[in-house]
Amino acid sequence: MQRLFDTALVLFGVVTLVFFLSAVIPGDPVDVMLGEHASSADREALRSAMGLDRPLHIRWADYLSGLLRGDLGTSLVRSRPVADLIAERLPATLSMALAAFVVILLIALPMGLLAAHFKGGPVDRAAAVFALLGQSIPNFWLGPLLVLLFSIRLGWLPVSGNESPAAILLPAITLGTSLAAVSMRMLRASLLEVLSQDYVRTARAKGVSRLKAILWHALPNALLPVVTLLGLQLGALLSGAVITEVVFAWPGIGSLLIDAIRQRDYPLIQGVVLVIAVAYVLINLLTDLLVRRLDPRIAAAEGDRP
């Protein structure tokens, strides 16, 4: 019950903060819709029609009451329900986030295992270099670099958009590389810590090879912090998708959010940020519950029943 209350409190804080921050964004949606040369009467009429002439606290209360009814409001610029606009774009973002998560697993798991197995060797040093580069290169630089190499020079993959199944590869690699580097280092460190435990050394003394000790004895117990990190990264994928979608013109909620900010479309900004925040909070909650299920000692330490 306490966790649900904390989750609701966080979401309330996010909704309130986003509402007031979007209200103080420089610019006016009326200027975007009518242009700077519109008459004062037309501007005031449109502002009144959109409800922008009401006091901020009344608009906030109306927005909260709408959320309780499941109503995210209506886009000021597109004149369509915000929920419909998000529903149209959300599948594209989820597909890219899922593909990026697969990239994380395909890179982090084998590289982490090999780096731990060949500790101090060339493979470990190569993994360390990859981790450093992966965490240092931002998405807005890595994305165009991949486009120049694989799309423009080699012509293997589309430059942007989602017209073909292959178009998802470059955005997924761009979004997943930095998170894969973090996960790989976490898995390596966790494996090396578990390998120093007495039961693993006993297995090694009985003739078990180092690779078998890693796969059968160390890996199951080393996955707990990695599972926690991967769960947190699932939420980070949605927030990180904003930049990646803009780079690759991917028609998801990230590019929808950027368009809404440019157009000062306050309800759409609030709706997209709310969806991302809800997904992030719920994923963190589910990850926490999963970790407690995998390791009952955590629940016991908090005074709960395993």
pLDDT at 87: 92
Whether 48 and 98 map to the same domain: the answer is: no
Whether 181 and 264 map to the same domain: the answer is: yes
What is the token pair recorded at 182?
């973090």
Residue 306 within a domain: no
Residue 132 within a domain: yes
pLDDT at 86: 92
Whether 121 and 255 map to the same domain: the answer is: yes
Selection from 249, 25, 289, 62 nearest residue 158 by Cα: 249
- Amino acid identity, position 46: L
Predicted confidence (pLDDT) per residue in 3-32, tens digit: 777 778 888 888 888 888 777 766 666 766
- The domain spanning residue 115 has which CATH number? 1.10.3720.10
Q: What percent of the chain has pLDDT over 90?
A: 5
Whether 54 and 168 map to the same domain: the answer is: no
Residue 79 within a domain: no
Cβ atoms of 178 and 105 closer than 8 Å: no
- Please give the Cα distance from 189 to 191 (Å, whole number): 5
Whether 17 and 139 map to the same domain: the answer is: no
Whether 51 and 157 map to the same domain: the answer is: no
Predicted confidence (pLDDT) per residue in 112-147, tens digit: 888 888 888 899 899 999 888 888 888 888 888 888
Whether 92 and 61 map to the same domain: the answer is: no
| Helix (H/G/I), strand (E/B), else coil: 108 | helix
Residue 73 within a domain: no
pLDDT at 125: 92
Q: Has residue 210 got a pLDDT over 90?
A: no
Whether 155 and 232 map to the same domain: the answer is: yes
Q: Report, in angstroms and rounded to the nearest whole number, the Rg of the chain calculated over CA atoms.
A: 24
Cβ atoms of 65 and 29 closer than 8 Å: no
Whether 246 and 99 map to the same domain: the answer is: yes
* Owning domain of residue 39: 2-68
Q: What is the total count of domains within the chain?
A: 2
Find the DSSP H helices in 196-295. 198-205, 210-212, 219-247, 253-262, 266-294
Q: Confidence class of residue 33 from pLDDT cuts 50, 70 and 90? A: low
| Helix (H/G/I), strand (E/B), else coil: 81 | strand
